[in-house]
Chains A and B, each alone.
Chain A
Amino acid sequence: MTNIVLQNLFPDFLEKEKIERSQIWNEHITIHKGDRLQIVAPSGSGKTSLVHFLYGLRKDYHGSILFDGKNTKTFSPEDFAKNRQTHLSVIFQDLRIFPEQTARENIDIKRMLQPFHSQSQIESMTGALGVSTKLNQPGKTCSYGEQQRIAIVRALQQPFDFILMDEPFSHLDENNRKKAMALIEEEATKRGAAIILADLKPIEYFKANRILNL
């Protein structure tokens, strides 16, 4: 997948004033593979909704989202599954970790789908984020910060052209944020992929080539 186009996109439920103030809602936006896009959005502006729309989890919007010119509203659940395996990766604000499975199982279940890395690289990636000691621990016993880092490593196990991030570092300290961002940028560069990062405020250590206010 080489580009994502948002055509006059806005959520069904959002107030008119917020849509009018936005640089994304109800605009024509094209995001190319390789781009670094930072979306700055205060609470309640529809940041999580935007990530859900792009990832195909919700369809309660007006306008269109085009993946290489194809309207995603026409996609079947199988089409979305295919995209999520090879073209789109995601890091959610709400972590979405399997509570009963170990951190390793949580990462491996994603890796096995379309392996981009070998199993041994899980060790080095978790090591880089300081959670390698948690690999054999059930997800529910890890702290939010640890769960967030596990979710980040999990999102980097697959091939992707675009990685979507919704407040990906909300539970991390400054030091870990920087490490996580560096790892994500390194992995995105390996794939020539675009990063779409939505957060409450600009992140200075993310080298964005475009910043849009939602």
Chain B
Amino acid sequence: MKLSFKHIATFLNVGEKRSSRIISSIGLGIGVLLLLCSVQMYYNVNLLIKDKNPRKDGFDFISVTKNITDANMAEDHRFTSADISEMKTHAFVSDAAPLVSNQFRVRANAANIIHSTDLFLESIQDNFLDILPPSFSWHPGQEDVPIIFSSDFLEMYNVFATAQDLPQLSASSIGVINIMLECSGRTGRSIELRGHIIAISDRINSVVVPEEFLQWANKNLEGCVDPPASRVYIKTVDANNTDLLKYLEQKDYHVNKDKTKFGRVKQILQAIVSGLGGFAILVILLAMMLFSFYLQLMIARSKDNLQLLLMLGYSPGWLSKTVAKKWIPVYAIIIISALVFTEILQYLFQQTFLNGREVLSPVIHPMVLIVAAVLMVLCVTVNYRLIRKLLYKL
């Protein structure tokens, strides 16, 4: 016959009052529930914030400029190549590329649409463009300059076009317009080129021309090679990454707040969730302390009997394991109940606040299960070590 707890149960004085055990159990249950809910909310927040910011190709592209204030207006706010290299060293930046602008003067003219106006042109690495037609290239001597135009600019044009008696244009019809570009610079050289809008970009709000053209024109018309850029585009896995936002704040770089606003909300929510998690850990610690006091009391009450059992030949190791094992179902019930409650709350959250949308799963995140398992192991281990310590002291 294998010895078990039931053989020694009558020798342990667990006390008449069950209140301390019940209070400890409720305390532990609340603490575990709070912690599991915090972990689940952490993942919910991450998922919901990502969902608010749909991305292309798995990356976000953010335009970054240096902050211009009244105090620093006189300074140069352009990015050096060292600034860009430094950006690329951070894990949260997948790539960074300058948006180089024209250093020479450009005057644009389009029959009936643009009546001779100064224009700015910019270029960026091809892999930062969201649309790249095969004809988007240029070589010296080519009179046609392909242009990628911002969809925001087209929208703005169409807003005021009717008031100015100008035709409204669609994204596909804009390509037929011939834009005469008069380019001149400090070298005294001047050329006339034809510009054609060949694509509309949702990502880059600028008038983008091929890099080869801008390099050639900056050099040959203005005598400028590799000019510093005023804007840099950052390619990142998550524009709402809190480390990225911290970095941008620390460097005093300006970004489009709309692109990262959910990141700021996420920062706040994560702080709240972390605070809740910290509070939960405190409650768990207090509950475990109550449990330990209860165990110490039980062992103190049963001291004479336990000493006699040890004297008869019961090993302190076996007694510790057997008494500690008795508590496993108690911890299991508490932790499983907390898991079930967390699942119910997650289901209600998904059904009630998100109307059952599949943005969030109604099932708890696997990490919650892992945290629950870790808590279980922790409770049982702490319990066993405490009992063992007390028994070896007898």
Contact = CB atoms under 8 A, between A and B. Distances in A.
Interface in A60-108: 77-78, 81-85, 96, 98, 100-101, 105
Interface stretch (B27-35, B77-85, B308-316): B308-316
A45 interface: no
Contacts of B314: 81, 113
A78 B317 contact: yes
Contacts of A110: 312-313
B250 interface: no
A57 to B, nearest CB: 7
A26 B77 CA distance: 94
A115 to B, nearest CB: 8
B3 interface: yes
B177 to A, nearest CB: 92
A212 interface: no
Contacts of B310: 77, 81
B308 A98 contact: yes
A100 to B, nearest CB: 8
Given A109-B309, A112-B3, A98 B11 contact: yes
Nearest to B311: A96
Looking at B305, B311, B318, which has the most chain A CB atoms within 10 Å of its CB?
Answer: B311
Interface in B103-159: none
- Chain A, interface size category, equals 20 to 34
A55 B314 CA distance: 14
Contacts of B311: 55, 57, 84, 96
Nearest to A57: B311
B1 interface: yes
Contacts of A101: 10-11
B5 interface: no
Contacts of B56: none
A147 interface: no
Give chain A's interface secondary structure class.
Answer: helix
Interface in B292-347: 305, 308-318
A72 B11 CA distance: 29
A101 B310 CA distance: 16
Given A105-B10, A109-B7, A77 B316 contact: yes
A148 interface: no
B313 A81 contact: yes
Looking at A55, A81, A100, A114, which has the most chain B CB atoms within 10 Å of its CB?
Answer: A81
B59 interface: no
A96 B7 CA distance: 19
Interface residues of B, number: 19
B301 to A, nearest CB: 12
B206 to A, nearest CB: 78
Nearest to B316: A77
Interface string B159-191: 000000000000000000000000000000000
B392 interface: yes
A85 B317 CA distance: 14
A38 interface: no
A109 B392 contact: no
B10 to A, nearest CB: 6
Interface string B1-39: 101000110110000000000000000000000000000
Contacts of B8: 109
Contact of B313 (A57, A84, A96, A105): A84
A78 B10 CA distance: 23
A100 B362 CA distance: 54
B317 A112 contact: no
Contacts of B1: 112, 115
Contacts of A113: 3, 312-314
Contacts of B309: 109
Looking at B1, B3, B315, B317, which has the most chain A CB atoms within 10 Å of its CB?
Answer: B315
Contact of B11 (A55, A77, A109): A109
A126 interface: no
A158 B313 contact: yes
A100 B12 CA distance: 11
B91 to A, nearest CB: 51
Contacts of A83: 313
Given A77-B315, A158-B313, 18 more contacts: A57-B311, A77-B317, A78-B315, A81-B316, A81-B317, A85-B313, A96-B308, A96-B311, A100-B10, A109-B8, A109-B11, A110-B312, A113-B3, A113-B312, A113-B313, A113-B314, A115-B1, A154-B312
What 7 A-B pairs come out closest when comparing CB atoms? A84-B313, A81-B315, A85-B313, A77-B316, A110-B312, A78-B315, A113-B313
